[in-house]
Amino acid sequence: MTASKRASAPSLGSDLNRVDRHVIQPAEYDDLPELTDEMLARGVVNKGGRPRAANPKRLISIRLTEDVIQRWRATGPGWQTRMAEKLSSSAPK
């Protein structure tokens, strides 16, 4: 049995066109509280993202045989970190 109608795209359930057409009227500003110096003083600028690492990692490319990769992957999640720690501890000083 074949369907005779095409499935419609899922809807967000909102009328974005109506929202875009709305023009703010002066009376709507009465709903907003007066901005005071006290309110501004409580404001905090929050920079998003992670803090900078003291010793950031650098992306490189390295070729390893498939059996080496599979042995490290078999150790479970975090295998790349464990590999980096092992290489770091055995590196010449």
pLDDT tens-digit series, residues 10-60: 666 778 888 888 888 888 877 778 889 999 999 888 888 888 899 888 999
- CA distances, 91 to each of 16, 35, 84, 85, 88 (Å): 58, 59, 10, 10, 5
What is the pLDDT, as a whole number, of residue 1?
55
- Least confident range of 22-26, 46-50, 64-68, 88-92: 88-92
How does residue 82 score in pLDDT terms, banded at 50, 70 and 90?
Answer: very high
